[in-house]
Amino acid sequence: MDETVETVRRRGLIVGLGAGAAALGAGAARAAPPGAATDPWQAAREPQDDWLELPGRHRMVFDATSAAAAEDAIDFADTYFFANNKGYGLAPSDLAVVIILRHFATPFAFSDPVWSKYGPAFSAMITLNDPATGKPATRNIHLTAPAKADPEAALANLSALAARGVRFAVCGLATSKIADHLAGGDAAKAAVIRAELTASLIPNARLVPAGIVALNRTQERGYAIARMG
**What are the domain boundaries of the chain?**
53-227
Residues of the chain above pLDDT 90, percent: 78
CATH architecture of the domain formed by 53-227:
3-Layer(aba) Sandwich (3.40)
Cα 69 off chain centre by: 14
pLDDT of 34? 59
Q: Exposed (0-12), middle (13-18) or buried (19+): which is 206, by Cβ within 10 Å? A: middle
pTM of the model: 0.82
Q: What is the pLDDT of residues 148-189, one digit of tens each?
A: 778 777 889 999 999 999 999 999 999 999 999 999 999 999
Q: Supply the DSSP symbol for 66.
A: S
* DSSP category for residue 202: P
In contact, 90 and 84? CB cutoff 8 Å: yes
Decide: 178 and 125 in contact? Cβ < 8 Å.
yes
Where does the chain show beta strands of DSSP type E?
58-64, 95-101, 167-171, 205-208, 224-227
Instruction: Report helix angle 172-183 to 187-198, nearest 10.
Output: 130
pLDDT score of 129 more than 60: yes
pLDDT tens digits for 29-68? Answer: 455 555 556 789 999 999 999 999 999 999 999 999 999 9
> Residue 147 in 3-state DSSP?
coil
**Higher pLDDT pick, 105 / 151:** 105
Query: For the chain, what's the residue count?
Result: 229
pLDDT at 139 over 50: yes
